[in-house]
Amino acid sequence: MAHTPLNKNEVKNVVILNNKFVTIAGKSVFYRSWDEAGVKYVKDLIIEDGNFLTLNVFQHSFGIKTHSLQFLGLLNAISLQY
């Protein structure tokens, strides 16, 4: 997305991996296992009520085993930016 999202629907379509605005310690992130499992957009991490998935639901839904700090760090990076 070339412009700043204006509303929640636009934020849901923001790419999260290799996004210069979604950073941890000043660097964009790329998790190969997430990419291969199809986790690409903010909407992939959100449930119907607009909240983020829990770690357990995320791992079960995508079949990814990830460390809680990695998962929560990325959610925090998204929250801080958008």
Domain coverage including residue 41: 11-81
Q: How high is the pLDDT of residue 2?
A: 52
In terms of Cα–Cα distance, which of 19, 64, 57 is closest to 39?
64
Q: pLDDT tens digits for the chain (82 residues)? A: 455 666 667 778 899 999 998 999 999 999 999 999 999 999 999 998 889 999 999 999 999 999 999 999 999 999 877 7
Does 29 fall in a domain? Answer: yes
Q: How high is the pLDDT of residue 49?
A: 87
Both tokens of 23, joined, read 């950073």
Does 4 fall in a domain? Answer: no
Does 45 fall in a domain? Answer: yes
Q: Do residues 45 and 57 lie in contact, with contact meaning Cβ atoms separated by under 8 Å?
A: no
Q: Do residues 45 and 16 lie in contact, with contact meaning Cβ atoms separated by under 8 Å?
A: yes
Q: How many domains does the chain have?
A: 1
Does 6 fall in a domain? Answer: no
Does 2 fall in a domain? Answer: no
Q: Is the model's pTM score more than 0.85?
A: no
Tell me how far CA of residue 26 lies from CA of 21, 42, 50, in angstroms: 9, 19, 26
